[in-house]
């Protein structure tokens, strides 16, 4: 049924000319006769010929494919970054193999290994929350495959990086809460070996310090995952404390929404009794009641810039260009879940 795909040879045989002439004709090589070109092109069309990129890849030792490794793609955050990446890659004729580590170090190592084997020209990666060792990335770099780390930093790994100033975002949020009159500000943070999470915690702590508010460990909780379910328990336990907090700064919007949900279950008024601020500014966050205050980060731009840097690195391969580390600034978005100043 499916006749095998036409090759240059098929065209050459049909026209009784050599393969090289066919190749050159199709590529509009100047040394080829116009008539030949026309006849080649027309039979190419007739045979439904299109070049075999696998052969080309082998020849050029270049696959025009890049690998993208993320913890998961179901979150709005990563799917938006990926969209940004793709919008740069497509016009440059690069394809993208997306892989999810599912926050597993083991899977991540396997994925990187696999991407190396299939011959991607470069890799964009946001490491899993359980990744503490970066040897797999170093191996990659050593085999000449450029790599750009985005969002989640790998301290000590010498590669291009595109990050967000999480510390600043957290600081802004907590500082705002203090300025709006909150005294007992709690934080629900994420896994501690994630740079993002750690920096948000630090921003929280420093904002308190700078405003001379004592740090109280009972106001600090951590979640293992980033879904709604993960947030309910810590939020409830915070809100049931004797001297319960009057504000919660959550590590992301999902957790913040869980906190709102928990607060409502406990009949607490938001923001009168409890202010809540999240992180990420997901599209639906502004549709909750009350509308969620949060910290916006330029996800789409982050994806685009990461891809641009990677492409540049791929084309400038042997150059000893110095490493780039770009840090985007997040923005505090105040809505109705936090008191006005």
Q: Which helix (H) or strand (E) holds 174?
A: helix 166-179
| Member of 38, 42, 46, 58 binding DNA (CB under 7 A) | 58
Q: Does 51 bind its own copies (CB under 8 A)?
A: yes
From 246, 321, 267, 334, select the one nearest 294 (Cα to Cα).
334
| Strand, coil or helix: 4 | coil
Q: Is 5 in the site for DNA (CB under 7 A)?
A: yes
Helix (H, G, I), strand (E, B) or coil at 249: strand
Q: Of 160, 134, 249, 239, which is closest to residue 202 (Cα–Cα)? A: 249
Q: Among 13, 33, 133, 211, indicate the residue that binds DNA (CB under 7 A).
A: 33
Give φ, ψ of 147 to 5 degrees.
-145, 135
Quote the least distance from Cβ 7 to DNA, whole Å.
3
Q: Taking CB within 5 to 8 Å according to partner kind, which of DNA, its own copies, none is near residue 19?
A: DNA
Pick one of DNA, its own copies, none as the site partner of residue 213 (Cβ within 5 to 8 A by kind).
none
Residue 336 — φ and ψ, nearest 5°? -100, -5
**Rounded to the nearest 5°, which phi and psi values hold at 292?**
-80, 125
Question: Residue 301 interacts with its own copies (CB under 8 A)?
Answer: no
Contacts of 46 (CB under 8 A, 6+ apart): none
Give me the residues that bind its own copies (CB under 8 A), please: 1-5, 48, 50-55, 57-58, 61, 63-65, 72-74, 76, 79-80, 82-83, 86, 95-100, 114, 116-119, 142-144, 227-228, 254, 257-258, 260-261, 264, 283-284, 287-289, 317-318, 320
Give me the residues that bind DNA (CB under 7 A), please: 4-5, 7-9, 16-21, 23-24, 26-27, 31-36, 49, 51-52, 55-56, 58-59, 61
């Amino acid at each position: 049924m499916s006749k095998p795909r036409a090759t240059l040879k098929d065209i050459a045989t049909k026209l009784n000319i050599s393969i090289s002439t066919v190749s050159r004709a199709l590529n509009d090589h100047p040394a080829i006769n116009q008539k030949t070109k026309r006849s080649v092109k027309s039979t190419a069309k007739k045979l439904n010929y299109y070049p075999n990129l696998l052969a080309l890849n082998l020849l050029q030792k270049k696959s025009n494919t890049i690998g993208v490794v993320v913890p998961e793609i179901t979150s709005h955050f990563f799917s938006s970054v990926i969209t940004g990446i793709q919008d740069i890659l497509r016009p440059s004729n690069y394809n993208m193999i997306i892989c999810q580590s599912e926050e597993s170090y083991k899977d991540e190592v396997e994925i990187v290994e696999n991407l190396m084997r299939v011959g991607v020209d470069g890799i964009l990666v946001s490491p899993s929350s359980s990744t503490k060792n970066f040897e797999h990335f170093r191996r990659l770099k050593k085999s000449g495959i450029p790599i750009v780390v985005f969002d989640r930093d790998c301290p000590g790994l010498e590669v291009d990086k595109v990050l967000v100033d999480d510390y600043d975002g957290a600081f802004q949020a907590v500082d705002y809460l203090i300025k709006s009159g909150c005294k007992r500000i709690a934080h629900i943070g994420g896994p501690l070996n994630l740079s993002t999470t750690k920096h948000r915690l630090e921003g929280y702590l420093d904002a308190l310090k700078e405003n001379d508010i004592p740090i109280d460990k009972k106001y600090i909780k951590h979640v293992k995952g980033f879904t709604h379910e993960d947030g309910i328990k810590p939020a409830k336990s915070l809100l049931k404390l004797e001297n319960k907090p009057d504000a919660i700064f959550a590590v992301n919007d999902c957790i913040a929404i869980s906190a709102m949900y928990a607060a409502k279950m406990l009949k607490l008024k938001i923001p009168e009794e409890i202010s809540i601020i999240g992180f990420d500014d997901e599209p639906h966050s502004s549709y909750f009641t009350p509308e969620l205050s949060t910290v916006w980060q330029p996800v789409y731009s982050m994806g685009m810039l990461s891809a641009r840097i990677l492409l540049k690195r791929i084309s400038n391969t042997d150059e000893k260009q110095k490493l780039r580390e770009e840090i985007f600034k997040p923005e505090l978005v105040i809505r109705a879940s936090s008191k006005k100043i």
